[in-house]
Amino acid sequence: MTHAIDTSIYSAVTDAIRGEAQRILSEGQVSAVVGYAAARRKGSAQPIVINQADDAAKLIFTPACVNNLAVYLTKAKKEIPKTGKIGIVVKGCDLKALVGLMGESQLKRENLYLIGIPCAGVLASTIQPDKELTHDSIASKCRECDVHLPTGCDFLPSQQPGTPELEKRYAAEIARLETMTPAERWKYWKEQFSKCIKCYACRQVCPFCFCEQCLCDRNKPQMVETTPRPAGNFAWHVVRAMHLAGRCAGCAECERVCPMDIPLNLLNRKMAKELKELFEHEAGLEVNEKGPLASFSEKDDQSFIK
Amino acid sequence: MQKYLSQQNFTTLLDKLITEGKRVVAPRLNSGTVLYEPLQSAAETVTDQLPRRSGKEAFFPLCEDIMSYRKEGQQVLLNDIDPARFPETVLVGVRPCDAAAVPVLDAVFSWDYKDEFFLERRRKTTIVGLACTTADDACFCTAVGLAPDNPKGADLFLTPLEGGGYACETYSEKGEQLIQAHRQLFDEPRNSTALPLAQPQTETVDLKKVKAWLDEHFEDPAWDSIATRCVGCGACAFVCPVCHCFDIVDEGTEKSGKRRKNWDACGFWKFTHHASGHNPRDQQPKRYRNRIMHKFKYYDDKFGQILCTGCGRCIRLCPVGIDIASIVEEISKK
Amino acid sequence: MHVEKQKHDFEPKIIAFVCTWCTYAGADLAGTSRMQYPANVRVLKFPCTGRIDPVFILKAFQQGADGVLVSGCHPGDCHYIAGNFHARRRFAAFRKLLEFVGVDLNRLQFSWVSAAEGGKWVEVVTELTERVRDMGPMQEFKELAMEEQWSGAINTPELQEAYNQI
């Protein structure tokens, strides 16, 4: 029995964001708006950048609007104009990423016009985008969402999303893995990582992977084998998880886009859990100039050091 | 040659081929994902889903060693991989979009340079195609001149029948040999009707018009609106049955190592990055333009074929929902 | 005085990443003081523990290390004031990650060894070496490095033979 999730507010939300985008573009408050538009397939959506007020009617919000649009504002995406103020449609999880990017001095709040989304959840996968949003098809990140209503936006439609209490899958899966022996965990991850084809979709959709040149693209010295073999894959995913530790905002885009269905966000959630326990850090909606691994306290635990 | 193969004999055939020592590659589940992979037993075959990755990797693997070196004392020993050692392979349950890709790839791998790694596998592989009975709205084989029952590229083609079993038809000597070697498993053709074929929803696209537009519009603002959203990963190229770019890397230490051939993708920033630091395709729309141009213009110019079989994998798996079918359709209407 | 070298079936390879100001000097002191410690350890010198990227540890395991030691100045003694504080946080996180992907943390040791602590260096190195010796070789990464991906497993005699020829 699958329970549907109420997404009836999404049509009103769509109208509201269209109206707001139309207004800010025609008033010249922003030079562009990054949002979602419908695509050819039934129920599908894709990111769109609009510059004309007339195009605001193209904007939508549906359960297939899965992307974290923050990636388009990072320096990895040179195509989007970085001059002037830019409007962006954000779900709560995406806003956490923007906040993280502000903390890392990649973005300035005053250059953004945030159009928030009251969000009841989005689909886990858009391979078949016309699926109904149910307790089964909802993204795992939405099951543990604490920002259905993003705060601090310049505009937020007034609708209230229904937010049923759902079982937290990441926490349960992490707990399951933690009770295994190291050898069992190694086997689990080896199997998962050996599927990797090094398409780097996980890296390219990540708002925090904005390095001009990724460590894993370098070959002098070559720290990580680029070949999609078990050894290089293992190293790549460990390096990726480490580089995102304390930075990942939990949008789970890496996991959604993986064509080989590797549960990548498990690593990110595990690191988030550890950093919370160790350094009381959690990705949130307040700008922190220093992430947990960019700062220290003299009182940090060192029981593991001899 | 036309024959009938019952469902049970289909399984027996695969098991027999495996015991004969052939490498039998067919769609199978690998921790939740269906992929074309070598089978241990016929029972692993999954025939009701389009595999996540295409069948090209039976000929052109994701990663393969082409040479190795080892240092012993003052000597450096080189060892070329000899393609003659590749095993005889039967590729089973191949969808028409994947089978049709193989003759398309033949053109480029046997052009001015004969790629023995591809060609030797090709010589040693028998392709058993399988008609599709289901399609989703990402499938568009009919738009690019193929069909759910098009046997292009298959040596032997199976069409599922009402009440089980398959109608088999051979399209090459290899296909006939496969039947001859196991004739006790194949019966005379039956009069049963075929299961209804899949019906991809997309309209037929006038590929001549697409090419005519591409010929004239290397520079066009449309590229920005199509591909500004592209994030530059290689998912589309890596699941594509006909994308065939590869990169050669040397990996190892001063003592030993290997030269390897890995899949590459034109969407990557690094793909055209020069040693000088210059990058002629410095923005993502330029890279995506190359993808479309290569598929529907350059390959056509060179080999008279297009580089797309309408499998729809790139549409389903694109992280940002880029839909090549609608792009091509739009271009054809310009 | 010469200690008779004991013969073992297995001599683990230990890679030690050390900071140049404290632990390297500490190891040097152990040497000049003629203290004995296992020759299994290969020392790599860095300006500071803060310079030791977690990927170095990963690479060491991949290249065949059976155990890894990371050692630097005591908190408050960093030549660069706070390098070891940053390292401490980073390694606290990294070891959790390694543990989660299935690496036995008994193969990874962190320590603070000052320039005056030649004795502590000997103690740390000896303990890690003996512990890793008891655990046996680090097979996981070595097996991973040997594994190929020929679009699936090497599951036919022909492929196995072709592979053995490499």
CA of B209, closest CA in chain C: separation in Å?
A: 38
pLDDT of residue C143: 84
pLDDT of residue A79: 67
pLDDT of residue C150: 46
User: A227, C62 in Cβ contact below 8 A?
Assistant: no
Nearest residue, CB atoms, B249 vs list A130, A227, A257: A227
Burial class (CB in 10 A: 0-12, 13-18, 19+), B102: buried
Beta strands C67-72 and C14-19 are parallel
Q: Which of C28, C78, C25 is nearest to C49 (CA)?
A: C78
- Selected for mutation to probe chain B from C151, C154, C160 (highest B CB count within 10 Å) is C151
C151 band by pLDDT with thresholds 50, 70 and 90: very low
- Decide if A191 and B31 are in contact by the 8 Å CB cutoff: yes
Nearest residue, CB atoms, C58 vs list A184, A238, A293: A238
Count of beta carbons in the 10 Å neighbourhood of residue B80? 12
How far is it, in rounded angstroms, from Cα A141 to Cα C153? 33
pLDDT of residue A21: 96
Query: Which residues in B20-52 are b (16+ Cβ under 10 Å) and which e?
Result: eebbbbbbbebeebbbbbbbeebebbebeebbb
How far is it, in rounded angstroms, from Cα B13 to Cα B216? 52
Which residues does residue B257 pair with via DSSP β-bridges, in sequence order? B69, B252
How far is it, in rounded angstroms, from Cα A34 to Cα A16? 15
- Selected for mutation to probe chain A from C149, C151, C154 (highest A CB count within 10 Å) is C149
- Decide if B86 and C63 are in contact by the 8 Å CB cutoff: no
| pLDDT higher than threshold 70 for residue A1 | no
- Decide if A205 and B285 are in contact by the 8 Å CB cutoff: no
DSSP letter at B195? P
| pLDDT higher than threshold 90 for residue A201 | yes
Residue B70, phi then psi, degrees to nearest 5: -150, 140
User: C62, A231 in Cβ contact below 8 A?
Assistant: yes
Any A CB within 8 A of C92 CB: yes
**Which residue is closest to A205 within chain B, CA to CA?**
B231
- Decide if A242 and C101 are in contact by the 8 Å CB cutoff: no
pLDDT of residue C146: 76
Tens-place pLDDT, residues C121-140: 999 999 999 999 999 999 88
Residues of B in contact with C155 (CB under 8 A): 38, 40
Residues of B in contact with A228 (CB under 8 A): 62-63, 262-263
- Percentage of chain C beyond pLDDT 70 is 86
Q: Which of A199, A257, A207, A249 is nearest to A228 (CA)?
A: A199
How far is it, in rounded angstroms, from Cα B290 to Cα A8? 41
Chains with 3+ CB–CB pairs under 8 A to A are B, C
Chain A, window 242-301: residues with a beta carbon less than 8 angstroms from a chain C beta carbon: 242, 245-246, 267, 270-271, 274-275, 278-279, 292-298, 300-301
| pLDDT higher than threshold 50 for residue A275 | yes
Provide the residue-wise pLDDT of chain B in tens; the chain has 334 residues. 899 999 999 999 999 999 998 999 999 998 889 999 999 999 999 988 899 999 999 999 998 888 889 998 899 999 888 888 888 999 999 999 999 999 999 999 999 899 999 999 999 999 999 999 999 999 999 999 999 999 999 999 999 999 889 999 999 999 999 999 999 999 998 888 888 888 887 778 899 999 999 999 999 999 998 998 999 999 999 999 999 999 999 888 888 888 999 999 999 999 999 989 899 999 999 999 999 999 999 999 999 999 999 999 999 999 999 999 999 999 998 8
C154 band by pLDDT with thresholds 50, 70 and 90: very low
CA torsion sign for B311, B313, B314, B318 is positive
A94 Cβ contact partners less than 8 Å away, ≥ 6 residues apart? A68, A69, A70, A251
Domains in chain C, ordered, with CATH? Answer: 14-137 (3.40.50)
Tens-place pLDDT, residues A137-165: 999 999 999 999 999 999 999 999 988 88
C163 band by pLDDT with thresholds 50, 70 and 90: low
B21 Cβ contact partners less than 8 Å away, ≥ 6 residues apart? B87, B88, C156, C157, C158
C161 band by pLDDT with thresholds 50, 70 and 90: low
User: A225, A231 in Cβ contact below 8 A?
Assistant: yes
Any A CB within 8 A of C39 CB: no
Tens-place pLDDT, residues C67-126: 999 999 999 999 999 999 999 999 999 999 999 999 999 999 999 999 999 999 999 999
C5 band by pLDDT with thresholds 50, 70 and 90: low
C152 band by pLDDT with thresholds 50, 70 and 90: very low
Helix (H) or strand (E) holding B129: strand B125-130
Chain C, window 59-78: residues with a beta carbon less than 8 angstroms from a chain A beta carbon: 59, 62, 75-76
CA of C158, closest CA in chain B: separation in Å?
A: 6
User: C25, C75 in Cβ contact below 8 A?
Assistant: no
| pLDDT higher than threshold 80 for residue C155 | no
Chains with 3+ CB–CB pairs under 8 A to B are A, C
Residue C145, phi then psi, degrees to nearest 5: -65, -25
CA of C8, closest CA in chain A: separation in Å?
A: 25
**Listed range (A113-122, A212-221, A267-276, B41-50) with the worst mean pLDDT:** A212-221
Nearest residue, CB atoms, A41 vs list B138, B268, B317: B138
Which residues does residue A88 pair with via DSSP β-bridges, in sequence order? A34, A114
Tens-place pLDDT, residues A13-26: 999 999 999 999 99
Q: Which of B229, B221, B328 is nearest to A48 (CA)?
A: B229
